[in-house]
Chains A and B, each alone.
Chain A
Amino acid sequence: GENVEQHPSTLSVQEGDSAVIKCTYSDSASNYFPWYKQELGKRPQLIIDIRSNVGEKKDQRIAVTLNKTAKHFSLHITETQPEDSAVYFCAGNGAGSYQLTFGKGTKLSVIP
Chain B
Amino acid sequence: DVKVTQSSRYLVKRTGEKVFLECVQDMDHENMFWYRQDPGLGLRLIYFSYDVKMKEKGDIPEGYSVSREKKERFSLILESASTNQTSMYLCASSSLTDTQYFGPGTRLTVL
Interface residues of A (CB under 8 A from B): 1, 6, 9, 32, 34, 36, 42-46, 49, 89, 93, 98-105
Contacts and interface: CB of A to CB of B under 8 A. Distances in A.
Contact of B50 (A98, A103, A105): A98
Given A98-B50, A102-B43, A103-B42, A44 B90 contact: yes
A99 B42 contact: no
B74 interface: no
Contacts, number: 50
13 contacts: A9-B40, A32-B98, A34-B98, A42-B104, A44-B43, A44-B102, A45-B102, A46-B100, A49-B99, A93-B98, A98-B96, A99-B48, A100-B100
B99 A99 contact: no
A46 B94 CA distance: 12
Contacts of B102: 36, 43-45
Identify the interface centre among A46, A100, A104: most chain B CB within 10 Å of its CB. Answer: A100
Contact of B94 (A9, A98, A102): A98
Contact of A89 (B42, B96, B104, B105): B42
B31 interface: yes
Nearest to A98: B31
Contacts of A1: 59
Contacts of A101: 45, 59
